[in-house]
Amino acid sequence: MTIHLLSADHLSQGLDVVARLGGNSRRLGPDILAAVPGLRGVLVLATCNRLAVLLDEPDGAVPPPDGPGESSLAVRETSALLERRAGMPGGSAGLSAVRGVDAYRELIATAAGLRSMIIGEREIAGQLRRSLVRATEEGTISADLCRLVERASAASRRVARETALAGAGRSLVAVGLGLAAQHMPVLEGARVVVVGTGAYAGATVAALRDRGVRDIAVHSHSSRRAAPPDQAARRAREPQPVSAAGPDRATAFARKRGLAVVGPHELPDRLASADLVITCRGLGGPVITRGLIDDALARRASREPDPQDPRASRRPLVILDLALSRDVDPGVADAPGALLIDLPRIRQAVPAAQTAQVEAAEAIVAEEAAALDRLMGGRRMDPVIRALRGRAEQMVVREAARLRPDDGRVGLDDAVRALERLAAALMHAPSQAARTAGEAGLAEDYLAALPMVLGAIGGPDAPAPTPAQEAR
């Protein structure tokens, strides 16, 4: 068994390449499993700044690499598939590929946030667990990939526990909100629209609530109608009738969190009255267009000034785009009265991690990767162990069949003879191998390997056992 990790990230390939490769990650795992022969499992991790693909390739399933620097056939075909899906020329993505203990180390470091745009962020660990759930649902997970993800998740928790990298403010959402707050008088009193209903949208709402923001509305293409915050909160507490088709995603998302829902027709007016718009949908195309923002800003300018805050209409509409494949038309950045904060800008504002803390985290990652490599190496011998035990059980069954119980009992002499025959059968192959090794001049090699199989055993010059040892 060999585990491969293919990846593209914001540092090595850049956000544009990551967006193209990961913008269409739906059903990517099943597609890889169907297209690449011999794979036992596939797991896909798509985040805002990386695409990682884990491949579980059984030993001997495909021809081995031509040399230490060559990729296996499974890696080459997976890379080609990713590039075709992204509409990129073959070999242009420049995917990174590692295997074995290097793959374990890279996955653990990724789970611990050490390869993220913001060093030490904890969101990636949750994304990895959700990727495991999705691979299980899609039928692409293998036992070894499951074991690998679980150990990587545990190692990431150790990094968070034993270092200060996961402290307050070390997340993409936190840095983005910090930038947005610089252009707003008071974040706590802001009117916020969140576009998206996925896991990242949930993390965004939680971060807003932690900062005291209460006026939050959610929008997605599935939104059916708007509801005021007090009504949404009441619905969250009361059981609601559900249609046969079930609630739309935005309604279900909002109901769970006590938020207002913004339907498609209410969106322009809601944008006009908003202080902050946060998008984290990332489904491949802008949902906040220049035309939509121009319309919202025009509505904003036509309104009577708020006597309690006469400068409100002159403040920019802050738009925070957290999506890798942009949710906001880049042209919005040129709209007078709008301020766009996107991932490249967030990356420039990332707080520097302390070198000592990063080094401590990397040491933990190396230690955990080595432990995982030993574990996986041991699991690789499972078929051998099962075969050895099965052979021994067959010998026991054969000797048991030769016994002749008398009134349900076996005489001592018969039992001893049966055990002697069993011992002789078990030792036949090692004994024959010992003689063959001696005849071939390989006695020392045989004696060096034998303790790994049978434990400490004396060589030809070892003293004979004492009567007491024989009795035992």
Report the pLDDT value the prediction gives residue 235, as an integer from 0 to 100. 44
Report the pLDDT value the prediction gives residue 366, as an integer from 0 to 100. 94
| Distance in angstroms (rounded) separating the CA atoms of residues 74 and 32 | 9
Question: Above 50 in pLDDT, residue 24?
Answer: yes
Task: Give 229's pLDDT tier (boundaries 50, 70, 90).
Answer: very low
Report the pLDDT value the prediction gives residue 225, as an integer from 0 to 100. 45
Mean pLDDT: which of 15-24, 160-169, 266-275, 451-460 is highest? Answer: 266-275
Q: What is the pLDDT of residues 210-227, one digit of tens each?
A: 989 999 999 986 554 444
Helices (DSSP H) in 112-217: which residue ranges?
Answer: 123-138, 143-162, 172-181, 199-210
Mean pLDDT: which of 21-25, 108-112, 229-233 is highest? Answer: 108-112
Asked which of 92-96, 142-146, 313-317 is least confident by mean pLDDT, the reply is 313-317
Pairing mode, strands 2-9 and 96-99: antiparallel
Q: What is the pLDDT of residues 86-95, one digit of tens each?
A: 888 988 888 9
Q: What is the pLDDT of residues 40-94, one digit of tens each?
A: 999 999 887 789 999 999 875 544 554 444 568 899 999 999 999 888 898 888 8
Give helix 123-138 / helix 199-210 axis angle, nearest 10°.
Answer: 150
Report the pLDDT value the prediction gives residue 6, as an integer from 0 to 100. 93
Report the pLDDT value the prediction gives residue 244, as an integer from 0 to 100. 35
Asked which of 243-247, 293-297, 435-439 is least confident by mean pLDDT, the reply is 243-247
Report the pLDDT value the prediction gives residue 306, as an integer from 0 to 100. 61
313, 327 in Cβ contact below 8 A? no
Q: What is the pLDDT of residues 168-211, one digit of tens each?
A: 456 788 888 888 988 888 888 899 999 988 777 888 899 899 98
CB atoms within 10 A of CB 80: 15
Report the pLDDT value the prediction gives residue 236, as an integer from 0 to 100. 40
Task: Give 246's pLDDT tier (boundaries 50, 70, 90).
Answer: very low
Q: Tell me which of 5, 48, 114, 369 is the catalytic residue.
A: 48
Nearest to 281 by CA among 323, 245, 240: 323
Question: Above 60 in pLDDT, residue 288?
Answer: yes
Task: Give 234's pLDDT tier (boundaries 50, 70, 90).
Answer: very low
Report the pLDDT value the prediction gives residue 78, as an integer from 0 to 100. 92
- Residue set of the binding site for substrate: 47-50, 116, 121-123, 127
Question: Above 90 in pLDDT, residue 20?
Answer: no
CB atoms within 10 A of CB 336: 8
What are the distances in angstroms from CA 87 to CA 46, 52, 147, 318?
A: 18, 18, 33, 33
- DSSP bridge pairs for 8: 51
- Show the tokens assigned to 168: 């307050």
Question: Above 60 in pLDDT, residue 383?
Answer: yes
Question: Above 60 in pLDDT, residue 138?
Answer: yes
6, 95 in Cβ contact below 8 A? yes
| Distance in angstroms (rounded) separating the CA atoms of residues 216 and 190 | 9
Question: Above 60 in pLDDT, residue 357?
Answer: yes
Mean pLDDT of the chain: 81
- Show the tokens assigned to 346: 């967030």
304, 345 in Cβ contact below 8 A? no
Q: What is the mean pLDDT of residues 414-423?
A: 85
| Distance in angstroms (rounded) separating the CA atoms of residues 417 and 404 | 12
Asked which of 145-149, 291-295, 361-365, 432-436 is least confident by mean pLDDT, the reply is 432-436
Residue 19 phi/psi, 5-degree rounding, is: -65, -40
- Residue set of the binding site for NADP(+): 196-201
- Residue set of the binding site: 47-50, 116, 121-123, 127, 196-201
SS3 25: coil
Torsion of CA 191, 194, 199, 200, to 10 degrees: -80
Residues 6+ positions from 26 with CB-CB distance below 8 Å: none
CB atoms within 10 A of CB 21: 27
Q: Which residue has the tokens 């490769």?
A: 21
Report the pLDDT value the prediction gives residue 245, as an integer from 0 to 100. 35
Domains of the chain: 2-167+353-379 (3.30.460.30), 172-348 (3.40.50.720), 390-456 (no CATH)
Report the pLDDT value the prediction gives residue 71, as an integer from 0 to 100. 67
Report the pLDDT value the prediction gives residue 240, as an integer from 0 to 100. 37
Percent of the chain residues topping a pLDDT of 90: 33
Q: Is 48 a catalytic residue?
A: yes
- Show the tokens assigned to 81: 């598939």
Q: What is the pLDDT of residues 420-463, one digit of tens each?
A: 888 888 888 888 888 888 888 888 888 888 787 777 665 445 55
Q: What is the pLDDT of residues 324-350, one digit of tens each?
A: 778 899 999 999 999 999 888 887 777
Q: What is the mean pLDDT of residues 277-305?
A: 84
Give helix 101-111 / helix 123-138 axis angle, nearest 10°.
Answer: 120
